[in-house]
Structure 1
Amino acid sequence: MYILFGDTVIDSKELKELIEAESDFKVVKDMSKGSKRDDILAYNLSISIDTLKEIMEEDGDIDELSEGELNEDDLFDEYLSLAEEVATSLDEILPEGAILDIRAYKWDLSDNDIKLIVAIAHEEIGERKLKDVMKTLVKQVE
């Protein structure tokens, strides 16, 4: 799907391939059509729990996990927060003027990963419009 991004046109398939090549995320689904707009890119992403654990080890946060200080709810929140934080790094590979809204929504135990939605727009669209689109996208995956 081709998306109007400022003064240029972006192929959502090419951006999908770039995300998978340049980040730890796997694109589960291109949701750009589901945004019901021709100026918003949207993807359902996943990131492995193992990758998140590695990041936590590097940051020194893994001690709490190994000592069992976090219950399952706290661990769930920690993984979701970290997945969203890691997803903010996607702005480094996005075109100039991109703004993102990121929502981690599920710990998929069968795949052992965290599922997220990322919505991407040109800054001209504005944060408010992007948040409205995110509400629509979250309803689609629930």
Structure 2
Amino acid sequence: MAYVVIGDRFVDSEDILKTILKGTEFKKVKDLTKGSKREDTLVFQIIQDVNQLKKELDTEESGIAIDDEELVEELMSLADEIAYNIEEFLPEEVVCYVYSYHYDEGLEEIRTIVVAASEEIGGLRLRDVAERILRSVD
């Protein structure tokens, strides 16, 4: 359990995690907030099933032929888009940074990091925080 300052109140990252798990169908979601050692940032790792993402891309039915590298790029982009859906489970006054950073062909999953903080922090600062967190995950 980690309490984070958002605006003028404290939020419990564990409560938000439970809400995300109830409202989404991700393969797995981990709360990394406590490990970030920041009092103003929520951090979640989302693991998405590659096969489910491929179904949503639907490249075979559309007749579009793409090579493996392009497919991975498309899957990573789609994973980012879908991960942004957790914004609806976060406090209104936060900004999010979402980045899919790892494609695991063997486990058939994509790992995405979601970093959220109060709007006062701003997008560029949030991206800096996310980059530091990415260096320490997995």
- TM-score range for the pair, normalised by the shorter chain length: 0.7 to 0.9
Task: Provide the C-alpha distance between the structure 2 equivalents of 1:108 and 1:15, rounded to a whole number of angstroms.
Answer: 27
Contact 2:16/2:89 (8 A) holds in 1: no
Verify the 8 A CA contact 2:4 2:40 in the aligned structure 1.
yes
What secondary structure sits across from 1:105 in the alignment? strand
Task: List, as ranges, runs of 4+ consecutive aligned residues in structure 1 with deviation greater than 3 Å.
Answer: 61-64
SS in 1 for 2:10: strand
Give the equivalent residue in structure 2 for 1:87: 83
How far off its partner does 1:62 sit? Answer: 4.2
2:110 matched to which residue of 1?
114
Aligned length: 136
Deviation at 1:111, TM superposition (A): 2.4
| Cα 1:20/1:84, change in 2 over 3 Å | same
Amino acid at match of 1:5: I
Residues 126 and 72 of structure 1, relative CA distance in 2, 3 Å threshold: same
Q: How does 1:1-142 map to 2 (within 5 A)?
A: 1-25=2-26, 26-27=28-29, 29-57=30-58, 61-63=59-61, 69-141=65-137
Please identify, of 128-137 and 45-54, the stretch whose mean Cα deviation from structure 2 is larger.
45-54
- Deviation, 1:68, is 7.3
Q: Aligned equivalents of 1:129 and 1:36: distance in 2? A: 16
With 16-25 and 131-140 compared, the bigger mean Cα shift is at 16-25
For residue 9 of structure 1, report the CA deviation from its aligned partner: 1.1
- How many angstroms apart in 1 are the aligned matches of 2:134 and 2:81? 18
Structure 1, gaps ≥5 residues long = none
Contact 2:48 2:110 in 1 (8 A): yes
Name the SS of the counterpart of 1:111 in structure 2: coil
The answer as to whether partners of 1:30 and 1:42 remain within 8 angstroms in 2 is yes
Q: CA deviation at 1:115?
A: 0.4
Q: CA RMSD in A?
A: 1.8
Q: Unpaired runs of 5+ in structure 2?
A: none
